[in-house]
Amino acid sequence: MKKKSRFLQTPIEPFAVEPGLTADQVLARMERISFQGRNLATAHRIWQKMLQDDVTIFLGMAGALSAGGLRLAVAHLISHRYIDCLVSTGANLYHDLHETRGQHHYVGSPHADDAALAEDRIDRVYDTYASEEEFCSNDDWIADFAATLEARPYTTREFLYLLGGQLWNTTGRDGILTAAYRANVPIFCPAIADSSIGMGLSQARQKKAGAGYIDIIGDIVESANLVIRRPRTASIVLGGGTPKNFINQASVQAEFYSDQVGGHRYALQIITDVPHFGGASGSSLEEAESWGKLASGSARVTVQSDATIALPILLSALATTAPPLLAVRVKPAFTLTGRVMTVDGLAVPSERFEEVNEPAL
């Protein structure tokens, strides 16, 4: 008899329907099916590995996930330290602020009469509605707060910590910004101008000369110094966008000044974009390795899926499997109250890079 090919070792196991399965049991069965189902199951395993290793876990958040109903899921990740640092678009943070202030997004339709919506001052995000008047009140609220701050440049990390504190002190409600404030988890927003937070900051400058200045280059220095201080990193990306590249470039920039940095040890992305159009959002993790963004041999998986489908399943599974890992996890400890962030007692400046040239770990 001909010897069986080495490629034909592990059979596919058809998914058997059974009532009462928990999310982690569903994903365990999905490890032996195919396509994005298997990739989602692999993502579950890789996230667990991150939590067992001494790595700083970055989460990138793009798209309309806050407006789409996932803001409290991300807040849960922050509060329970499934992640250590958030990099987000301004829109996600703005829509989080909107709901933390007691306002809502509403179930709508992608087939709405947009002229009628505009006449009623209703903004549409695909199948989700929100009040333009409430958005304007948010812009004023941000502007009024920013005008109370000392007139000087702020990194987005410093400004968003202060904004989260103001939200918590005035609302006492759960959200992404308030969770990060309470858990001392840094948030970076490298494209903050491309959002209604940026618009609120521009209005602050109208109210008070010198207000609303954001040092986004300081964000680059600070994030790279964080990687220099803790060179073992992991990346989780939801939706690509600017956050995906900012997390990756922090590793690349850090390696310019420290031989200890060698790319992310783990990488997980849930994206809808595809690589063959050349955009960064859809770029493969293999391509990222060519840039030095991922370490050679890193554990990695791409899930080609809408995050509103994949993330609730993935987090429901982790809610069962992760708590024992979180209980013993040694997390990076941040202080965010001053102009200079610290991690594990070490300063993480935003003015100059920390140069460390030692043999790579």
pLDDT per residue as tens digits for the range 29-42: 999 999 999 999 99
pLDDT at res. 315: 98
For β-strands 264-271 and 294-304, DSSP reports them as parallel
Residue 126: pLDDT above 50?
A: yes
In angstroms, the CA 92 to CA 142 distance is 15
Domains annotated for the chain, with CATH where assigned, are 23-105+151-201+212-348 (3.40.910.10)
Judge contact between 177 and 192, C-beta under 8 A: no
Summarize pLDDT for 323-338 with one digit per residue, the tens: 999 999 999 999 999 8
pLDDT at res. 328: 98
Residue 52 neighbours by CB under 8 Å, 6+ apart: 325, 329
Does the annotation mark 207 as catalytic?
A: no
Query: pLDDT confidence of 1, banded at 50, 70, 90?
Result: confident
Residue 127: pLDDT above 50?
A: yes
Which of 223, 296, 220 shows the shortest CA–CA distance to 263?
A: 296
pLDDT at res. 3: 84
> Which single residue is written with the structure tokens 């491309």?
194
Mean pLDDT confidence for 189-216:
97
Summarize pLDDT for 133-170 with one digit per residue, the tens: 999 999 999 999 999 999 999 999 999 999 999 999 99
Calculate what percentage of the chain has a pLDDT beyond 90: 97
pLDDT at res. 355: 87
3-class SS at 180?
helix
Judge contact between 353 and 60, C-beta under 8 A: no
Query: pLDDT confidence of 339, banded at 50, 70, 90?
Result: very high
Name the catalytic one among 3, 244, 293, 331.
293
Which of 167, 214, 211, 163 shows the shortest CA–CA distance to 186?
A: 163
The 10 Å Cβ neighbour count of residue 133 is: 9
The enclosing H or E element of 271 equals strand 264-271
Summarize pLDDT for 341-352 with one digit per residue, the tens: 999 999 999 999
Structure tokens given for 243: 């956050």
Query: pLDDT confidence of 361, banded at 50, 70, 90?
Result: very low
Stated length of the chain: 361
Summarize pLDDT for 65-124 with one digit per residue, the tens: 999 999 999 999 999 999 999 999 999 999 999 999 999 999 999 999 999 999 999 999
Judge contact between 133 and 143, C-beta under 8 A: no
Query: pLDDT confidence of 357, banded at 50, 70, 90?
Result: low
